[in-house]
Structure 1
Amino acid sequence: MLSARSLFQEIVDHDDSFQLFCSIAASGESQGGWENARIAALVPDSMRELAPKITRHGADEDKHGRIFHALLRKRGLPAVPVPPETDYTMLLERSGIGLAHAKLRSDEPLTEEDIVVYLSHSRVTEQRAADQMDMLVRHFGDHPEVGRAIRMISHDEDNHLSYCHEELLRLAREGHGRTIQRVLRESALTEIAVYRDVSLAVMGHMGRLLHWPPAKSAALAAGIRGTYAWERFAGWHRMVALHPPERRNPLGGAPTGAPEFA
């Protein structure tokens, strides 16, 4: 029987698939760390109070990248190149989600609208990250090899999502509500399509590494497409709703380290 638990267990148990999984995850987290660091450096003067929180967000993402690299080192495995079709962060940028890297590489300050767009994009992608980590914690939070890492990353992702809700609600009260709702909707509809394509690509690679029979690969692909159909019909609404978070000022303190991993 196919289930998220059985699939992830299979990936974790096999060195080649575990190596690819951690490499993809580490690359995406490190890219997110760089992007947030650049955004923090370019925040306009009128929003400088956000810079420490954006910096904290980037530091957390860098930490997650180090954690995945550390998991690889514990098995004596090097990171491997990330196949382009599995690079969620790169594909999101190409689809217009996230601030363009050309803009982030320049020294020109960002605008207030850029920051509103960045936070709106982040609200959508952090929902995906928080949901994925919550699922992994449910099934593997006590796993002797990856459980501690999963719990730590999940806690951070919940903080990131709360931060996005909190800041977007504040910015909506300050007059940015129409822009926020427009960008949230556009981002959610784009993200679910990118997530479908990346999921199909990742499962394709895993299937080849783990020698899955065609029927198993076909069933997984059908499930991914079915999830996309539901998200396209109704599920995306959950990714655009804003509500006051239970965790207040979640990125207001100092970042937590990960000495046992880094």
Structure 2
Amino acid sequence: MLSPGSLFQEILDHDESFRLFCSIAAGGEAQGGWENGRIAALVPPECRDLAPKIARHGADEDKHGRIFRALLRRRGLDPVPVPPETDYTMLLERRGIGLAHQRLESDRPLTVHDVIVYLAHSRVTEQRAAEQMALLCRHFGDHPELGRAVRMIAADEDAHLAYCHEELLRLAAAGHGRAIRRTLRACALAEIRVHRDVSLAVMARMGRILGWSPARSALLAAGIHAVHRYERLIGRRRMTTLTMPERRDPLGSPPVQSPEPAA
């Protein structure tokens, strides 16, 4: 049966596919950690109260990267370079979504508009991350090798998403609603396309590693394209709406130094 659970179980059971999966995940988290760290250092005076929350977000992303690398070490595996066509973060940047690395490498303070761009980008990408981790939790939350790591990361992603909702609503109340709506829409449309392209690239590489038949690969690709069409027409709304979360100020406390998988 071709299901998300059985598909990921197949990836998990093969060292090379698992190594690629963890390497891609660790690379993305490391980039996110660096970006959030730079943004926290560059926030404008009007947004200084956000700096510790952004720094906390970055610390969580760094932690997730360490978790994925630790999962590799447990199997005696080394990371592999992230194939460019699977680099979700950099592909989004090339589409002009989020704050460019060149901008973050400078010491020039950000503007309030830059902060809106950052939060809108995070609102969209954290929605994707939270959904993906919820799916993994559903299938592997009790897995002896992955369960603890999956549950820990899923809880963090939920907190990141809640924080984005809350801070964007606060900025909307301060008069930035139109800019936020416009930026969220642009981010969502770009993310949906990049997610499709990255999904196709990852599945193509997994198929070569695992020896999938052309028919199975074609079926998976058709499913990815179907999801993309749905998201463009209807599904993107879940990425562009804002709702005050039940858990307020989710990044206002120090990060939880949860145990990582043993090396």
Under a length normalisation based on structure 2, what TM-score does the superposition of the two structures give? 0.99
Local SS of the residue matching 2:57: helix
Local SS of the residue matching 2:236: helix
Deviation at 1:260, TM superposition (A): 3.2
Match of 2:178 in 1: 178
Please give the alpha-carbon distance, in whole angstroms, between the structure 2 residues aligned to 1:194 and 1:31. Answer: 17
Task: Flag structure 1 segments of 5+ consecutive residues without an equivalent.
Answer: none
Q: Which runs of 4+ in 1 moved over 4 A?
A: none
Deviations 1:138-181 (A, max 9, x none): 01101111111000000000000000000000000000000000
Deviation at 1:259, TM superposition (A): 3.4
Share of identical aligned residues, percent? 71
Match of 1:206 in 2: 206
Match of 1:138 in 2: 138
Please give the alpha-carbon distance, in whole angstroms, between the structure 2 residues aligned to 1:80 and 1:260. Answer: 21
Please give the alpha-carbon distance, in whole angstroms, between the structure 2 residues aligned to 1:223 and 1:132. Answer: 16
Please give the alpha-carbon distance, in whole angstroms, between the structure 1 residues aligned to 2:261 and 2:98. Answer: 28
Matched, 1:125 2:125: yes
Please give the alpha-carbon distance, in whole angstroms, between the structure 1 residues aligned to 2:110 and 2:103. Answer: 8
8 Å CA contact 2:23–2:69 kept in 1: the answer is: yes
Match of 1:27 in 2: 27
Please give the alpha-carbon distance, in whole angstroms, between the structure 2 residues aligned to 1:258 and 1:81. Answer: 27
Matched, 1:10 2:10: yes
Deviation at 1:261, TM superposition (A): 3.1
Letter in 2 for 1:116: I
Deviations 1:196-234 (A, max 9, x none): 000000000000000001100000000000000000111
Please give the alpha-carbon distance, in whole angstroms, between the structure 2 residues aligned to 1:46 and 1:170. Answer: 13
Local SS of the residue matching 1:234: helix
Deviation at 1:249, TM superposition (A): 0.4
- The number of aligned residues is 262
Letter in 1 for 2:259: P
Please give the alpha-carbon distance, in whole angstroms, between the structure 2 residues aligned to 1:106 and 1:238. Answer: 34
Under a length normalisation based on structure 1, what TM-score does the superposition of the two structures give? 0.99
| Equivalent residues in 2 for 1:1-262, closer than 5 Å | 1-261=1-261
Please give the alpha-carbon distance, in whole angstroms, between the structure 1 residues aligned to 2:187 and 2:149. Answer: 29
Please give the alpha-carbon distance, in whole angstroms, between the structure 2 residues aligned to 1:197 and 1:214. Answer: 18
Deviation at 1:97, TM superposition (A): 1.3
CA RMSD of aligned residues (A): 0.7
